Amino acid sequence: MILGTWNLENLYRPGGEFGPKDKATYETKLAALAAVVTGLDPALLGVQEVGDPEALRDLVGLLPGDWHVALSEHPDGRGIRVGFLSRTPLRVLHDTSAFPEKLIPVQTDDTGGTVTQSGRGFLAVETGTEPLRVAVAHLKSKLLSYPGNRFNPRDEGERARYGAYALYRRAAEATALRALADVLLAGDGRERDVAVVGDLNDEVQAATTQILLGPPGSEIGTPGFEVRDKGDAHRLWNVAPLIPAEQRFSRVNSGRRELIDHILCSHRLVHRVTAAGTGAADAPELPSIGPDPQRRRGEAGSDHAPVWVRVEA
């Protein structure tokens, strides 16, 4: 079974503010996305940046076989949301954007504005007769924006402040996602197949990504990985060390390769992972993106590579 995650990059139908400008460009994008999904052939794929639910259904219409779709009902201000494509029926367990109860609102701008929930919802589903529970997320971007729809700051002070605001939000969202993972694990990760997937918008060792792991220790590649301890019931393991080094990136930012899309697995699940990677058969080379995401409007395919694991039954 292949379990994957992929940011589809601005999946909108044509004619709107954020999507392709015409039908031909839209169809080219869909065809490029469909080719990658077909090459990957996942049993379950978490997806991000679905702007129009109808556009995801258009994409599914280009895929061979039967598919089931679940989408979050908590989009951000641009309408983008997370979801799943699955070969088997899905049962939605949770669709939430709430911060944990004890987490106070976090500052978002120079006016003192705050938020009390994630920018995009977290969706958790269950599938299969021996249930696999998976949550998908898309955390706050590292690509900064400023008042007045600017992508360039007025000065370095503004850049620093808005970098901090984005980090506050991403940390709070990671904390909320970890709370959802705790619910899915139910203190029983040795016996439950649980995964958290998505665009976490930071790399493996980033503090926000590390929040999701739970108790420290037993990392893949260390002697403790094969030694059972009490923390195994609550941990999640990032599969990144299992990805071949030359593939260990999912986006190219200003010419720099970075792995910001992740799959984290429970104890029972991670010990059945037989392979991990990024990309898919015949997937195109990733473009290098810059600080202005609008420059990619209407481009074919995605600026992210899918990340995947193969799990034995």
Q: Which residue has the tokens 């309408």?
A: 79
What confidence tens digit (pLDDT) does each residue in 267-289 have? 999 999 999 999 987 778 899 98
Q: What is the pLDDT of residue 24?
A: 96
What is the structure's pLDDT at 290?
85
> Which phi and psi angles does 246 have, rounded to 5°?
-70, -15
Calpha distance 152→156 (Å, rounded): 10
pLDDT digits over 167-179, tens only?
A: 999 999 999 999 9
Name the pLDDT band for 292 (thresholds 50, 70, 90). Answer: confident
Give all strands (DSSP E) within 102-232, no chain letters.
106-107, 114-115, 117-127, 132-138, 193-199
Per-residue pLDDT band for 73 (boundaries 50, 70, 90) equals very high
The string of DSSP letters for 92-136 reads EEEEEEEPPTTPPPEE-STT--EESEEEEEEEEEEETTTTEEEEE
Which pLDDT does position 283 carry in this prediction?
79
Q: Give pLDDT tens digits for 174-202.
A: 999 999 999 999 999 999 999 999 999 99
The CATH number of 2-311 is which of 3.30.70.120, 3.60.10.10, 1.10.8.60, 3.40.50.20? 3.60.10.10
pLDDT at residue 295 is higher than 90: no
Q: Which long-range contacts (CB under 8 A, 24 or more apart) does 64-71 make?
A: 64/38, 70/123, 70/125, 71/123
Q: Higher model confidence: residue 234 or residue 217?
A: 234
Flag whether the pTM goes above 0.85: yes
* Residue ranges per structural domain of the chain: 2-311
For position 16, what pLDDT does the model report? 85
pLDDT band of residue 4 (cuts 50, 70, 90) is: very high
The strand pair at 44-50 and 68-71 is best described as unpaired
Q: Name the band, by pLDDT with cuts 50, 70 and 90, for residue 39.
A: very high
CB 235 within 8 A of CB 267: yes
55 backbone dihedrals φ, ψ, rounded to 5°? -65, -40
270 within 8 A of 3, measured Cβ to Cβ: no
Q: What is the pLDDT of residue 149?
A: 87
Going by C-alpha positions, the residue among 271, 276, 272 that lies closest to residue 250 is 276
